[in-house]
Structure 1
Amino acid sequence: MINNTVVTTWAILGAVWLLAWLLSRRLSLNPGVVQTAVEGIVASIESVIQEVAPQHVKSLTPFIGSLWIFLVIANLCGLIPGVHSPTRDLSATSALAIVVFLSTHWYGIRLQGIKRYLSHYLKPSPILLPFHLIGEITRTVALAVRLFGNMMSLEMAALLFLMVAGFLAPVPILMLHVIEALVQAYIFGMLALIYVAGGLQYKQQQHDGDSNA
């Protein structure tokens, strides 16, 4: 079913793709203001990933960076009259959470191989396998519900405030929306980074253990 969420999501994806294509056409060693700003955004994303997964910055930057950029735009587009943020729809946040879930295992399997990656679910004891599986499911559900609940409540609170106060105080409401939208995008992307890095760091911990032995 094609609804407002689907249309808005695809519009955002198309706009991001077009913008990325335009910005990457004429890169220069002496960047102008726009290229400097874009490079600053990329450097900021890389620095955050560097803190969490220093050995996997290059491989994680495309996924985490794209996720952050999409979330920022998706959360903020609710400020446009007549447009609702896709992240206030549980189906959209569920899709994002599933992408994070699949990416976590894809990166882990790609680095370690499927057999070695899946073996960590049996450690330290095979008895813990059901608990590991439950943990995977619950954190994916929590990731989807957290973003949906926060964005839905934010838009409802802004609507109720405007209904009561009218347009006497639009600027504080807009600023609150912007700040909260950025915070929620950061939290979702940071949790995604931590989940993916957790699977990747298992190999590093295993390698350190073998070296110490």
Structure 2
Amino acid sequence: MTDGEMFAQVVFQLGPVEISNTVLTTWGILTLLVGASYWLSHHLQQEKPGRIQVLAEGVCIAIEDAIRAVAPNHVQLLFPFIATLWIFLVVANLVGLIPGLHSPTRDLSVTSSLAIIVFLSVHWYGVRDQGLKQYLWHYLSPTPFLLPFHIISEISRTIALAVRLFGNIMSLEMAALLILIVAGFLAPIPLLMLHIIEALVQAYIFGMLALIYVAGGMQTQQLRQKHHQQQKDPSRE
């Protein structure tokens, strides 16, 4: 690993479009995940599931439980998006352990794209669950004067989501580079364990924040409707 390799490098061009090693690594991860999903879906066993199937089912159950703890009424709706995001982040963060490869999430363009996807998903799921009019109304509640603050909040948390993941993964790879330069290969196991733990933690944090943001956008309308119902009928709990 060299200093120049810490940043995305252009591998080739498709006309005016530059294809970097980050893009190629991301394409490779997506191809791997799609291929693995296709293989698993066509090799499911009910009576004697294999170890890979048991592991996959365990991961799905864990993700379902996490979603149920935050949005118990929308588990099936949110599962495809949150599960895909979590699995991609885990693989993307850990791929930096492979010699010659770097984690795509060390590139700000990748983390920004993921943050934008989360930003759009918050509104898409909110509109889908509550309707466009009902969803947009909460930006004017309890007073229209709060609209600028709502907008600033949406933008700032999206930026923070992108920068947090980028900064942590980039600093992790830079720390690994510095340790290898100073100590050589005298301490590969502690470094490897640090990379794995930090990669998993950052994937969990990003996915959980995305889940909280999406669930919050959907449940805000439900709380508002419940509040209005209670105002109309004080005897109703």
Using CA pairs under 8 Å that are at least 6 residues apart, name the structure with larger relative contact order, 1 or 2. 1
The percent of aligned pairs where both chains have the same amino acid is 65
Question: What's the CA shift for 1:162?
Answer: 1.0
What secondary structure, in the 3-state scheme, does the structure 1 residue paired with 2:118 have? helix
- Deviation sequence 1:106-147 (CA, Å, 0-9, x none): 000011111110110001110010010000000000000000
Matched, 1:58 2:58: no
Question: What is the 5 A alignment of 1:66-145?
Answer: 66-145=84-163
The AA in structure 1 aligned to 2:75 is: V
Distance in 1 of aligned mates of 2:114 and 2:187: 34
- Deviation sequence 1:57-88 (CA, Å, 0-9, x none): 00101000000000000000001111011000
Question: What's the CA shift for 1:190?
Answer: 0.3
What secondary structure, in the 3-state scheme, does the structure 1 residue paired with 2:19 have? coil
The AA in structure 1 aligned to 2:27 is: W
Matched, 1:5 2:22: yes
Matched with 2:58 is 40
Distance in 2 of aligned mates of 1:175 and 1:28: 34
Does the aligned pair in 1 maintain the 2:138–2:221 contact within 8 Å? no
Q: How many residues align?
A: 213
The AA in structure 1 aligned to 2:154 is: E
After TM superposition, the score normalised by the length of structure 1 is: 0.98
Question: What's the CA shift for 1:35?
Answer: 1.1
Distance in 1 of aligned mates of 2:175 and 2:52: 35
Matched, 1:167 2:185: yes
Distance in 1 of aligned mates of 2:228 and 2:72: 20
Distance in 1 of aligned mates of 2:56 and 2:44: 11
The AA in structure 2 aligned to 1:131 is: F
The AA in structure 2 aligned to 1:187 is: I
Does the aligned pair in 1 maintain the 2:93–2:199 contact within 8 Å? yes
Question: What's the CA shift for 1:210?
Answer: 4.0
Question: What's the CA shift for 1:103?
Answer: 0.4
Distance in 2 of aligned mates of 1:76 and 1:205: 39
- Deviation sequence 1:142-191 (CA, Å, 0-9, x none): 00000000000000001101110110110000000000000000000000
After TM superposition, the score normalised by the length of structure 2 is: 0.88
- Structure 1 unaligned regions, length at least 5: none
Does the aligned pair in 1 maintain the 2:165–2:206 contact within 8 Å? yes
Question: What's the CA shift for 1:33?
Answer: 1.7
Question: What's the CA shift for 1:29?
Answer: 1.6
Distance in 1 of aligned mates of 2:55 and 2:200: 18
Matched, 1:26 2:43: yes
The structure with the largest alpha-carbon Rg is 2
Matched with 2:33 is 16
Matched, 1:198 2:222: no
Does the aligned pair in 1 maintain the 2:168–2:202 contact within 8 Å? yes
More displaced stretch, 29-38 vs 146-155: 29-38
Question: What's the CA shift for 1:36?
Answer: 1.1
Distance in 2 of aligned mates of 1:26 and 1:81: 31
Distance in 1 of aligned mates of 2:97 and 2:54: 27
- Deviation sequence 1:26-66 (CA, Å, 0-9, x none): 22222222211110000000000000000000010100000
Distance in 1 of aligned mates of 2:20 and 2:86: 23
Query: Per residue, is there more helix in 1 or in 2?
Result: 1
